Amino acid sequence: MKVAVVKESAPGERRVALVPEGVPRLTGAGLDVLVERGAGEGAWFPDSVYSDAGASVLATADLYESADVILTVTRPDTVKLRAGQVVIGMLSPLIEPEYAASLAARGVTAVSLDGLPRTLSRAQSMDALTSQANVAGYKAVLVAAAAYGRFFPLLITAAGTARPCKLLVLGTGVAGLQAIGTARRLGAQVSGYDVRPASKGEVESLGATFVELTSVSGGAGEGGYARELTQEEREAQQAELSSHIARHDVVITTAQVPGRRPPLLVTEDAVKEMSAGSVLVDMGSSALGGNVFGDVTGENVVTGGGVTIIGATNLPATVPTAASNAYSRNISALLLHMVSDGALRVDLEDEIQAGVIVAHDGTVVHPAVAKLLGD
């Protein structure tokens, strides 16, 4: 079976689905690894290193023609695909179900790591959402520090004393906890908030202060995510959060609901109450909306009050080597889970495969995606 690693075509995407270190793991399982010319350049993995690792480096047309399985980070161009091929990547089918439908129409089996059952212990090595969220949380703090006009740590110098930055992280899942840890290492005075009560211990274990609200309780949902709040709960949450937000210099928001519009955590009034020079990094920023009022996806906006709002999208692509290394291990683990005797075996009775397989045999088979298309 020929497994191909393609060069990403999305604007600004510098990651690669498989790093050279991962090639022997696949060839050792009896798979032939093909790499599109220049696929790893954005993450500083030249073609020669892939060749040395045992992969065949091919031109684009030859690679797509030969491949049985295509490994990708983001969505590949469907025009290059043919019936019978398998695509494995972060396909975001809940956000763009039409893309899944187009793959099904071409007879392509679509496997999306977005749907991995994250609560299964045997799936942890395949959890790309977690690995990439770790990278994103780390980089969000560096982005904030670059935009903030003062120091993060307490500094006592001959020129005077600089107080530490007061930083608040809203949403303390994987990305949020990594942001808290990184901000603490930079010397900021850090607080964290999440609707899931169980997150308090995790926040405090990193040396940060947990913000407790009285307006919302019991926000834990399924699959390791926070549940979607009711309209009344959102309004009460926003009102109570505003007073906490105004007391901080930097706020990083991370809240997302898979396939849905991210919750608005920082309202227009909350932005107006922040001091000039404050920074908001919206990691929930997306085509569906964001966590911060006034967010513009992929851009930095400075309000009339001097508050910088950063619509942070695809932060892992800005740390391409580390992100690719982690993603490579995830996608390799999933691929090998689906391989038996050198061939890929689709088994929708397997709990992991049932979660990640979106399209097969010309049909969208994932219930949640099929429902969206039906709607």
Per residue, what are the HEC states of 148-190? CCCCCCCEEECCEEECCCEEEEECCCHHHHHHHHHHHHCCCEE
Q: What whole-number distance in Å separates Cα of residue 347 and Cα of residue 334? A: 13
Please check whether residue 129 is in contact with residue 89, taking contact to mean a CB–CB distance below 8 angstroms. no
Q: What whole-number distance in Å separates Cα of residue 213 and Cα of residue 241? A: 8
HSE at residue 361, side-chain half, CA atoms within 13 A, is: 6
Q: What whole-number distance in Å separates Cα of residue 186 and Cα of residue 208? A: 13
pLDDT in tens, 311-369: 999 999 999 999 999 999 999 999 999 999 989 999 999 999 999 999 999 999 999 99
104 — alpha (psi -120 to 50), left (phi > 0) or beta? alpha
Please check whether residue 34 is in contact with residue 5, taking contact to mean a CB–CB distance below 8 angstroms. yes
319 burial class (0-12, 13-18, 19+ CB within 10 angstroms)?
buried
Write down all domains in the chain, each with its CATH number in brackets.
2-115+320-360 (3.40.50.720), 130-318 (3.40.50.720)
Residue-wise DSSP of 352-373? HHHHHEEEETTEE--HHHHHHH
Q: Where are the alpha helices (DSSP H) in 206-293?
A: 231-246, 268-273
Please check whether residue 26 is in contact with residue 335, taking contact to mean a CB–CB distance below 8 angstroms. yes
Residues of the chain short of pLDDT 50, as ranges, are: 224
pLDDT in tens, 90-133: 999 998 999 999 999 999 999 999 999 988 889 999 999 999 99
Q: What whole-number distance in Å separates Cα of residue 330 and Cα of residue 332? A: 6
Tokens of 369: 């995606």
Say which residue the tokens 């530490």 belong to.
Answer: 164
Helix axes 128-147, 320-338, angle to 10 degrees: 170
- Confidence (pLDDT) at 227: 57
